[in-house]
Chains A and B, each alone.
Chain A
Amino acid sequence: METSTSTNMIWVLLQRFGFLLVFAAFFGLFAVWNPVFLQGGNLLNVIEGSAVLMIIALGMTLIVATGGIDLSVGIALDFGAAFAVVALKSYGMDWFGAACAGLIGGSIVGLFNAILVIGLRVSPFLATLSTFFIGSSVQRIFTNGGGPISHRRMPEEFRNLALGDIYGVPTEAVIATVLVVLYFLVLERSIWGRRIHAMGMQRSAAIVAGIRVNRILILCFIVASMTCAAGGLIAAANIRMFTPLSGFSYLLDAIAAVFVGAALHPRGRPNVLGTVAGVLFLGMVANGLNLMGLNFNTKDALQGIILVSALALAVAQQRARNPLVS
């Protein structure tokens, strides 16, 4: 158009590269405000600190891709931590046995969700909400009111899940990265991923196409909860104890990361790379706001505002790419 002005240009730029620009803008802002932000140690901190959230968000991505949502990711994390700590402390298992026990403990949560959703035909939202209530209560009963189970003499190998490093890279970051790659291959490149996305977008069409949606859904719930349990292992190793109900704090961040990721996708699908971007964005903003030394109480509000503006731009970006999708 002839009337194009510089504001117009900026708008076009924002539409095209919106989220990336916001990411870069905040990165720059944080760096200028407090040079510590840019130091290698701090950036590594952001990544390391995001590892558990990344793992939980992967599990969430899987369930959201099936067309549902999982409000019990925190419970799966708690169960993973609890089973592992009890296996180490009361049964004297080695680190590997304890890790397996933790994953199995987490899978109970997924299995329970699957029974509710497929067997009883409860919607995923309500089913996993029930699991969340029941799972929270189970933890309180088991710990006589919610006290932590600590294990000071945790084997070194188990502690290394959180505190060790592999060729200088923190183990938890390595675990998270491996899971990201696996999830990416399965969800975005494999035939199972195609089936999962198909049933998530249009379940009835997937059924008519001969896809065994119930079987896939059961597997997804179990895999997602085991993934969250893996996050629980790291959390337990980090603080050498199981703290009941600690998984809850990841729930909302994980949902936010997954939906940021979906908004970044050109066709609005939940996807692994988008989730990674969402988690890192949330991690960066939290860390940056911390370093700005802001009042703790205003942090959440700022985080929310930043999130909404980034999402609005991502949606504008989608529209610019697909003018036919209104």
Chain B
Amino acid sequence: MSYQRAFSLQGVTKEFPGVRALDKASLDVEVGEVHGLVGENGAGKSTVVKVLAGVYQPDAGLVTIGGETLSPITPDTVHAAGVRFVHQELHLVPHFTVAESVFLGQERSGRLGLNTKAMREETEAFLHDMLGVDMPSSRLIRDLTTAERKLVQIARALIDEAAKVVVFDEPTAPLASDEIETVMSAIRRLTEQDIAILYVSHYLSEITDICDRVTVFRQGKTVGVFDTITDQSGRDLVYAMVGRDIADMFPVKGDRVAGPGLEVVGLSDGRAFANISLHVEKGEILGIAGLIGSGREELIDTIYGLRKAQTGTFQLEGEPLAIKSAAQAVDAGIVLVPRDRRHDGLVLPMTMAENVTLATLDQNTSLGLENRRVARERTEAQITALDIRPPDPDVVTRLLSGGNQQKVVLARWMVTSARVFIFDDPTVGVDVGAKSEIYQLIDDLSAGGACVIVSSSDPVELQGICDRIVIMMRGDIIGELQTEDLSVDELVSAITGARDIKNLTDAD
């Protein structure tokens, strides 16, 4: 096969006030390959994607697509050259149907206005033939699962069949582990059509799984191009990304205080789960595992008072407790680091200091007026403690990377005197380096005597940091596993129901 260059970036530099996001970076992607792009947060991955999308104008360097040097680089010229994007965010209108979403902005019209029948048929055919799923095109977006929405988004980018280069930006970030394969196999099918794919992801297992070649960015520079990728490449990639070896992602457990913590008895929300009882001791990290639809997310929301409970009681350190709203939970010392930090965790247009102090405003006040100096000092203390970058309390949180945004959410709860920390998918969209730091912080909290609950779709993460894991399926807790001597494979087979949990525990 004669390699044909689909696109290349040469010596691209992009500066923002105070930051050089890209520093003579280069990237070559060939037709018919899946090319991985990896790097820590802030390495310049998203800047490259935005340069390629025509959103940012590079200060220097060339962008060549299909042999033609693009000038000017605007969203229109890029689109005309056949570059399509599948963004991390879903950007779909909840009240539109699948067909309407796929054809939004590129509607088919017949003699009598919109040709809805053709659009419905084409959508279903495309989803079936190209992506391997069957989905009625009249369903509403709001009724779809996250994975299904992702497929709709892919269909939308590719339905015009003019795509030459497709950029996937963290395509699996919002997905549960069992949903990932659906999207991955859809991507594999695409390479058979002479399409070049740029695959940007934090998940190295996916990268080694699907990519033919990989380019590694660090601090805005291209630091390595791997021409052969095997299952064993992960370690080399991490080394190239962070410039050092991460021997162990997960912290080593030390001694713990003990004592009664949070106890939940007979909790039901009347829809997603029923009669759930669980408890987490002080100094313990309890994991909650479960696929999408297992009721795991709804359970977390209900414990935190975001959803109404139908039945159920709470006890914290032996004292009965009523949780009917998030405000009550926070008052009781129960805090949540939500799964969707950009939506539920942070007020993105606000500054870091404003977000860090949002839950503790009462403490930074004199006569009801906010004492900004105290707020700043508290934020600066947290910046040092959590190593948040850039270390500027006045930076708008929208501009921070995923890992640093998560640290800001965490910092907000660190300044409270919380006793129970609930983490819901704490490292989604967070790079390897920051991930390890967040695990350390979670472990520190628990070592300090806090009760910690980690609900996660990542079995590696659960196995790595939790002491004990409860497994949910169809709104029920189907079992409990101690993580000592538990392998990730065993955990996965328990979560997916491939193996009975009784057999697992008996085997010990």
Contact status B368-A191, CB under 8 Å: yes
Contact status B368-A209, CB under 8 Å: no
Contact status A205-B16, CB under 8 Å: no
Q: How far is the CA of A70 from the CA of B451 in the complex (A)?
A: 44
Q: Of residues 414 to 450 in B, which have CB atoms within 8 Å of A's CB atoms?
A: none
Measured between beta carbons, the chain B residues less than 8 angstroms from A207 are 306, 326-327, 344
Q: A191-B361, A324-B399 are in contact. Are A209 and B370 (CB under 8 A)?
A: no
Contact status B343-A209, CB under 8 Å: no
Q: In this assembly, does A305 line the interface, its C-beta being within 8 Å of a C-beta of chain B?
A: no
Contact status A194-B370, CB under 8 Å: yes
Q: A185-B369, A198-B358 are in contact. Are A205 and B346 (CB under 8 A)?
A: yes
Contact status B370-A191, CB under 8 Å: yes
Contact status A189-B331, CB under 8 Å: no
Q: How far is the CA of A167 from the CA of B503 in the complex (A)?
A: 89
Q: In this assembly, does A8 line the interface, its C-beta being within 8 Å of a C-beta of chain B?
A: no
Q: In this assembly, does B330 line the interface, its C-beta being within 8 Å of a C-beta of chain A?
A: yes
Q: In this assembly, does A40 line the interface, its C-beta being within 8 Å of a C-beta of chain B?
A: no
Q: How far is the CA of A325 from the CA of B338 in the complex (A)?
A: 25
Measured between beta carbons, the chain B residues less than 8 angstroms from A91 are none
Contact status A194-B354, CB under 8 Å: yes
Contact status B359-A209, CB under 8 Å: yes
Measured between beta carbons, the chain A residues less than 8 angstroms from B359 are 209-211
Nearest Cβ in chain B — how far from A110, in angstroms? Answer: 21
Nearest B residue (CB) for A186: B368
Measured between beta carbons, the chain B residues less than 8 angstroms from A194 are 354, 358, 361, 370
Contact status B412-A202, CB under 8 Å: no
Q: In this assembly, does B55 line the interface, its C-beta being within 8 Å of a C-beta of chain A?
A: yes
Interface centre among A185, A208, A268, by most chain B C-beta atoms within 10 angstroms, is A208
Measured between beta carbons, the chain A residues less than 8 angstroms from B343 are 202, 204-205
Measured between beta carbons, the chain A residues less than 8 angstroms from B412 are 209
Nearest B residue (CB) for A192: B368
Q: In this assembly, does A47 line the interface, its C-beta being within 8 Å of a C-beta of chain B?
A: no
Q: Of residues 185 to 205 in A, which have CB atoms within 8 Å of B's CB atoms?
A: 185, 189-195, 197-198, 201-202, 204-205
Contact status A208-B338, CB under 8 Å: yes
Q: How far is the CA of A267 from the CA of B370 in the complex (A)?
A: 20
Contact with A along B327-343 (1 / 0, CB 8 A): 10111000110100001
Measured between beta carbons, the chain B residues less than 8 angstroms from A210 are 326-327, 329-331, 335, 359
Measured between beta carbons, the chain B residues less than 8 angstroms from A325 are 398
Q: How far is the CA of A209 from the CA of B411 in the complex (A)?
A: 12
Q: A191-B365, A194-B361 are in contact. Are A208 and B344 (CB under 8 A)?
A: yes
Q: In this assembly, does A140 line the interface, its C-beta being within 8 Å of a C-beta of chain B?
A: no
Other-chain residue from A190, A197, A204, A211 in contact with B344 (beta carbon distance below 8 A): A204
Q: Of residues 10 to 45 in B, which have CB atoms within 8 Å of A's CB atoms?
A: 16-17
Measured between beta carbons, the chain B residues less than 8 angstroms from A185 are 369
Q: In this assembly, does A218 line the interface, its C-beta being within 8 Å of a C-beta of chain B?
A: no
Q: How far is the CA of A37 from the CA of B153 in the complex (A)?
A: 58
Other-chain residue from A190, A202, A206 in contact with B348 (beta carbon distance below 8 A): A202
Other-chain residue from A190, A205, A268, A326 in contact with B347 (beta carbon distance below 8 A): A205
Measured between beta carbons, the chain A residues less than 8 angstroms from B399 are 324
Contact status A208-B396, CB under 8 Å: no
Contact status A209-B358, CB under 8 Å: yes
Measured between beta carbons, the chain A residues less than 8 angstroms from B17 are 323
Other-chain residue from B331, B345, B348, B398 in contact with A208 (beta carbon distance below 8 A): B345
Q: How far is the CA of A269 from the CA of B354 in the complex (A)?
A: 14
Measured between beta carbons, the chain A residues less than 8 angstroms from B354 are 194, 198
Measured between beta carbons, the chain A residues less than 8 angstroms from B146 are none
Q: How far is the CA of A324 from the CA of B55 in the complex (A)?
A: 10
Residues of chain A at interface, number, CB under 8 A: 28
Contact with B along A294-326 (1 / 0, CB 8 A): 000000000000000000000000000001111
Q: How far is the CA of A198 from the CA of B398 in the complex (A)?
A: 14
Q: In this assembly, does B364 line the interface, its C-beta being within 8 Å of a C-beta of chain A?
A: yes
Q: How far is the CA of A192 from the CA of B55 in the complex (A)?
A: 37
Nearest Cβ in chain A — how far from B349, in angstroms? Answer: 5
Q: In this assembly, does B325 line the interface, its C-beta being within 8 Å of a C-beta of chain A?
A: yes
Measured between beta carbons, the chain A residues less than 8 angstroms from B306 are 207-208
Q: How far is the CA of A191 from the CA of B306 in the complex (A)?
A: 23
Contact status A205-B326, CB under 8 Å: no
Nearest B residue (CB) for A191: B361
Measured between beta carbons, the chain B residues less than 8 angstroms from A269 are 349
Measured between beta carbons, the chain B residues less than 8 angstroms from A208 are 304, 306, 326, 336, 338, 344-345
Contact status B369-A189, CB under 8 Å: yes
Measured between beta carbons, the chain B residues less than 8 angstroms from A189 are 369-370
Q: Of residues 348 to 382 in B, which have CB atoms within 8 Å of A's CB atoms?
A: 348-350, 354, 358-359, 361-362, 364-365, 368-370
Measured between beta carbons, the chain A residues less than 8 angstroms from B344 are 204-205, 207-208
Interface centre among B336, B344, B347, B348, by most chain A C-beta atoms within 10 angstroms, is B347
Q: How far is the CA of A268 from the CA of B349 in the complex (A)?
A: 9
Contact with A along B208-237 (1 / 0, CB 8 A): 000000000000000000000000000000
Contact with B along A159-197 (1 / 0, CB 8 A): 000000000000000000000000001000111111101
Q: How far is the CA of A323 from the CA of B398 in the complex (A)?
A: 13
Q: A190-B369, A204-B343, A209-B358 are in contact. Are A324 and B330 (CB under 8 A)?
A: no
Nearest Cβ in chain B — how far from A20, in angstroms? Answer: 23
Q: How far is the CA of A268 from the CA of B368 in the complex (A)?
A: 25
Q: A208-B326, A210-B327 are in contact. Are A201 and B350 (CB under 8 A)?
A: yes
Measured between beta carbons, the chain B residues less than 8 angstroms from A201 are 347-350
Q: How far is the CA of A205 from the CA of B409 in the complex (A)?
A: 10
Q: A189-B370, A209-B412, A211-B327 are in contact. Are A195 and B361 (CB under 8 A)?
A: yes
Q: How far is the CA of A212 from the CA of B326 in the complex (A)?
A: 8
List 5 tightest A-B contacts by C-beta distance, closest first.
Answer: A210-B330, A191-B361, A202-B347, A209-B358, A212-B327
Chain B interface residues (CB < 8 Å from chain A): 16-17, 55, 304, 306, 325-327, 329-331, 335-336, 338, 343-350, 354, 358-359, 361-362, 364-365, 368-370, 396, 398-399, 412
What would 21 A/B residue contacts be, using CB atoms closer than 8 Å?
A: A190-B370, A191-B365, A191-B368, A198-B358, A202-B348, A205-B343, A206-B347, A207-B306, A208-B304, A208-B326, A209-B326, A209-B412, A210-B330, A210-B331, A211-B359, A212-B327, A267-B349, A267-B396, A268-B349, A324-B16, A324-B399
